[in-house]
Amino acid sequence: MKKKIITLILAALSALSALSLAACKTGGNTPAGSTGTVGTKGTDGDVTYDANNILDKFDEKDFGGKDFRIYCANYFNDAVFVRQAPTEDADPADRINAALYKRDSQLEEKYKVKMVYTIATNDQVLSDTAKELASTGEDAMDLLLGSLFYLGSGMLSDNLLTDIGEIKEIDLSNDWWNRNMTESFTLGGKTFFSTGDITTRGTTSVSLILFNKKLLEDEKTELPYQAVYDGTWTYEKLYQIYRGKSEDLDKDGSISLENDKIGFLAGSYSSYFGCGGRYTVRESDGSFTGVYNTPANINILEKLQEWFNDDVLNHTYYPGVSAFVTDRAYFIEVAGCDLSLFRDMENEFGALPFPKFNEEQKDYINFANPWITTCATFPITVKDTAFSGFMTEAMAALSRYTSSPEQYEVIMKNKELRDDDSKKMLEICVASATYDIGFNYNFGGVRSAIENVLVEGMNPSSSFAAIGDKFSENLNDFIASVTAGK
């Protein structure tokens, strides 16, 4: 395997780091699919598949030593490292690197290819570089693994990506692809992104809730795991646990992150999505409709305003983490990329998916942070799409039984999660990751409008009045441009 490093420098790199960390704190792939289970074996009829035989599902190929060129980044930004490509200088104890190296070696031997990585310094550099190459018509890569947000706001908007549906070697209905993303980002019958086992960032982009076991056990409160398994973990149950728990420890007349006890350290987007709130929905004919201002979604916002009482603070990252690890918060919202921050916490904690709005809600829904979500995509300059598609599909399938399960093992080994129930909760979160093009592209400024409701306490109708027709106009113009290839 070969690699090279892109050393491009962005003038506003420090600003990028600040933006990226902010994105990581409020967000938000189990291997793709909907079962919420992870393992090293899978079944297809009477056949049990694992890392040793999954490639038997594919045609025999000999590409005669051809390079399979992959562009990606191991750093999301200067501070957040999530390995996507194996490197020769990695620590021998790096289990993800070892799993990726083993996967790639197997692919090289099976199909007589060379896995060649171009590793950008971070995700925005990656997107900027790929956009420049595609704009000039250079066939520089066979597969691009990059941030959903950066690629969507750059290459997709400029019609520089290939419709995956035209690559017959890729079958997005397979378990190693995330069906939620396929549905959310199929625009006018065209699909430009997919995620799943092919990326090692499945566990890092999804939102979840951590709870302090000691605080709950000291008060004889049942741990919420069983409620999750029973399908009865609702926001009202969460609210009844944290309600009245904030305490003004320093007696200064207010509740603060730095000095007081807090019921729930929450963001806004994840709770909204968890309760079934949406910015857009995809209709049966494949079109998209803005639904942020429907009665059902306004009802969710108004109920969240009730639940976001004095026992809830919109936490500001590190002060919020400090409050939780020092037993001054019962619950805290995090993204998977935050879990390492709790590794040295003295008392035990557990993980949970975001609760349902009520028990009538069918599934748990967990917000996937688009800045951190990594997608497989193909620039329009890829000439040999049959080769690219075949190798990408094989790589994704093999990843399901190699690098994907290793992600969970590393999280448990590093004490980023500490019990089997929490591991299962994370699997549920990843399997239920949700995506929304309205959030991604902020049509009409809707992100700020909803945050104003949940953080500033504005009336939903008043907050949405400023949007007017801009949401629908932006949405329709965007889809028309992307699907027309203009």
Of the pLDDT bands very low, low, confident and very high (cuts 50, 70, 90), residue 23 is very low
- Alpha-helical regions (H) of 261-310: 269-274, 295-307
In this model, does residue 289 exceed pLDDT 90?
A: yes
**SS3 for 182?**
helix
Which pLDDT does position 41 carry in this prediction?
63
Please indicate whether the domains covering 2-204+370-434 and 207-367+442-470 agree at the CATH topology level. yes
CB of 63 closer than 8 Å to CB of 387: yes
Sole residue written with tokens 């291997």 = 31
Higher pLDDT, 319 or 334: 334
Residue 297 reports pLDDT greater than 50:
yes
Whole-number pLDDT of residue 272: 96
Position 453 scores a pLDDT of 94
121 to each of 5, 216, 370, 378, how far by Cα in Å? 7, 42, 19, 20
| Predicted local distance difference test score (pLDDT) of residue 129 | 97
pLDDT for 29:
38
pTM above 0.75, yes or no: yes
Does 3 score more than 80 pLDDT?
no
pLDDT of residue 171: 98
Which amino acid type is present at position 394? A
Residue 451 has pLDDT above 70, yes or no: yes
Dump pLDDT digits (tens) for 72-127.
999 988 878 899 999 999 999 999 999 999 999 999 999 999 999 999 999 999 99
For tokens 């199909």, what's the residue?
A: 111
Please check the confidence at residue 5 and state whether its pLDDT lies above 60.
Answer: no
* Region 328-334 average pLDDT: 96
Q: How far is the C-alpha of 242 from the C-alpha of 262, rounded, in Å?
A: 8
Beta 143-147 vs 374-377: how paired, if at all?
A: antiparallel
Contact 267, 25 (CB under 8 A): yes
The answer to whether 399 and 50 are in contact (CB under 8 A) is no
User: Can you tell me the mean pLDDT for 438-447?
Assistant: 95
Q: How far apart are CA 401 and CA 446, in angstroms?
A: 39
* Structural fold of domain 2-204+370-434: D-Maltodextrin-Binding Protein; domain 2 (3.40.190)
Integer Rg of the chain from CA: 22
- Other Cβ atoms closer than 10 A to 386: 11
Structure tokens at 321: 């983490």
Instruction: Out of 190-204, 382-396, 440-454, 467-481, give the one with best mean pLDDT.
Output: 382-396
Q: Residue 326, Cβ neighbours under 10 Å: how many?
A: 13
Task: Give the model confidence (pLDDT) of 411-430 as tens digits.
Answer: 998 899 999 999 999 999 99
User: Is the model's pLDDT at 254 over the cut of 60?
Assistant: yes
How many CB atoms are closer than 10 A to CB 174?
17
Tokens of 240: 């009844």
Residue 307 pLDDT > 60 = yes
| Residue pLDDT, tens place only, 49-77 | 999 999 999 999 999 999 999 999 999 88
Smallest CA-to-CA distance from 3 within 104, 76, 102, 123 is with 104
What residue has token string 């990028």? 16
> Within a 10 A sphere around the Cβ of 415, how many other Cβ atoms?
13
The CA angle 97-366-440, to the nearest 5 degrees, is 85
Q: What is the pLDDT of residues 356-396, one digit of tens each?
A: 999 999 999 999 999 999 999 999 999 999 999 999 999 99
The alpha carbon of residue 180 and the mean position of all alpha carbons in its chain are separated, in whole angstroms, by 11
Determine the pLDDT at residue 10.
31
**Where do the domains of the chain lie?**
2-204+370-434, 207-367+442-470
* Torsion, CA 88, CA 89, CA 90, CA 93, rounded to 10: 90
CATH node for 207-367+442-470: 3.40.190.10
**DSSP labels for 109-167?**
HHHTEEEEEEEESSHHHHHHHHHHHHHTT----SEEEEEHHHHIIIIITTT-B--GGG-
- With b meaning 16 or more CB within 10 Å and e meaning fewer, what string describes 352-365? bbbbbbeeebeebb
Decide if pLDDT at 25 tops 80: no
The residue among 435, 221, 213 whose CA lies nearest residue 324 is 213
Round to whole Å and give the CA distance between 112 and 122.
30
Q: CA-CA distance, 124 to 138, in Å (whole number)?
A: 19
441-454 burial: b if 16+ Cβ within 10 Å, else e? bebbebbebbbbbb
Rounded to whole angstroms, the Cα distance separating 194 from 151 reads 12
For residue 18, pLDDT beyond 90: no
pLDDT at 152: 87
Q: How many angstroms separate the first and last alpha carbons of the chain?
A: 37
* Whether 206 contacts 429, CB under 8 Å: yes
Does pLDDT of 13 surpass 50? Answer: no
Q: What is the mean pLDDT of residues 310-335?
A: 87
Average pLDDT, the chain: 89
Report the pLDDT value the prediction gives residue 34, as an integer from 0 to 100.
32
Statement: residue 4 has pLDDT above 50: no
pLDDT at 126: 97
